[in-house]
Chain A
Amino acid sequence: MKRLAVPILAALSAITLAVSIHYIFVKAPIQYTIMDGRLFQSSLFFNQKIFYFHVAQAFMLFAAVGLAGITSAIFLKTRNPKWDDIAAAAVDVAVLFGAVVLATGSIWAKAAWDVWWNWEPRLTMSLLLWLILVGYALVRKFAGPSADRVAAGMAIFGMVGVPFIYKMVGEDSHPPSGADGVVMNLGAEYKIAFLMSVIAFLLWFVTLTIMRVQTTRAEREARELRERGLDLGVLQ
């Protein structure tokens, strides 16, 4: 079963990604507003399609911080390295994805508001979450043998800090979310594309994370076997 997990998930991710791309580019209409019979100037047109990737990946940053925080807490309690593996893998993958979120957010900002960056709430929050993840990655890399313990601490504190970051960035110029929000008010064609892209990215994230965890476990097993060999005098 475990051997099949990655190939199945990979296939699923590929399929949902393909489907969502189809929905995004083919099915969902280009967003524009008509006022007085003419096209409204601040429409995003084709750039709006970035929305599908951008929001999906932002969710994924949240998921990563949450996952890292929870698995780190379990790791500190049980000291079982397999939990720490998950945290480290999730963060590794999320750092990369996060970089993409920020880049796509930047492009959208340029298209919508003509600046590559402004300190508006969702961008800021993504940046802060990403920085926490990057900090974690740096700690893992440079803290030496106790890196797992220290990084776990950072993950837990980071996760607990997320609600505060959320509150702190407040509501400014970002499109509203929740009941009023952009998503709910989208027409049916948009909604499906959006949902598909969120699922696709989450699946992709999970697939990559699992692959990373498997690599780490394989490394550990190889190391332990080598130690056993050295102990028994079979190896040099």
Chain B
Amino acid sequence: MALLRQAGRVAWKDLRVELRSKEIVMTMVFFATLLVVIYSFAFPASDIELVRGAVPGMLWVALAFTGTIALGRAFDRERENDTMRALLLSPVPRLAVFLGKAIAMTALILAVAVVCVPLLALWLNAPLFAHPGELALAVVLGAIGIAFIGSVFAATLLKVRSRDVLLPVILYPLLVPLFVAGTKATAALVAEPSNVELAWFWIRFLGIYDAVFLVLSLWTFESLVIE
């Protein structure tokens, strides 16, 4: 479909631009690493029970923070030379612009997760890889949710005053179900014994959440972004 092809072009452009400077990926990975370091001071790794209880939350908090900062930074880039205007001005359907940016953001957030998860497993001795497939699915669905909803509002806030502060103010309340579901799924997976059944409940929850908000985002993007 032409729409997907154009979206792909936009996404590829974003990723190419990011790969050139690697600014966002590097700073986000570094930031996530620092977070894990701080966590490990807060929670003594020797107390396995305590850590196991805390790690799911840590992972998703890290994704929340890095995701929001990455969103802010990526869209900020579009402000620098007003390239967002160039994209919206083009005959490419605005839906495709949105899809492209959201796909690129998903990739960025996943890149950070790929570093974060092993780090947490390693430094905090957390059994995150007990069920790698389910965990991967939960993280991917989480990243998609953050990226899509985040892209709608980051784009909407592009020319708005106080945008840096307002993005978290808007995103965090809306993303609470996503973070809770992700945390509960992860917790079910690292529990001893692991409750895969429960994890799947929360993964399905994430799936439905993503589907509903994907549709809502596509529907409202143009209305919200065009002044």
Residues of chain A having any CB pair with chain B under 8 Å? 76-77, 128, 131-132, 135, 138-139, 142-144, 146-147, 149-150, 152-154, 156-158, 160-161, 164-165, 167-168
Contacts and interface: CB of A to CB of B under 8 A. Distances in A.
Contacts of B160: 143-144, 146-147, 150
B4 interface: no
Contacts of A139: 166, 169-170
B29 interface: no
13 contacts: A76-B224, A131-B173, A135-B173, A142-B165, A143-B157, A143-B161, A146-B227, A149-B227, A150-B156, A157-B213, A161-B174, A164-B209, A165-B177
Given A128-B173, A160-B213, A144 B162 contact: yes
A143 B176 CA distance: 22
Given A161-B177, A167-B205, A144 B161 contact: yes
A77 B223 CA distance: 8
Chain B residues touching A, range: 20 to 34
Contact of A76 (B159, B173, B180, B223): B223
Interface in B174-227: 174, 176-177, 180-181, 205, 209, 212-213, 216, 220, 223-224, 227
Contact of A132 (B161, B173, B212): B173
Given A142-B162, A142-B166, A168-B180, A153 B173 contact: no
Interface in B29-67: none
Ranked nearest first, the 3 interchain pairs of A and B with the lowest CB-CB distance are: A144-B161, A164-B177, A142-B162
B128 interface: no
Nearest to B216: A160
Contacts of A160: 212-213, 216
Contacts of B98: none
Nearest to B222: A76
B169 A135 contact: yes
A138 B177 contact: no
Given A143-B160, A160-B212, A165-B177, A135 B224 contact: no
Contacts of B213: 157, 160
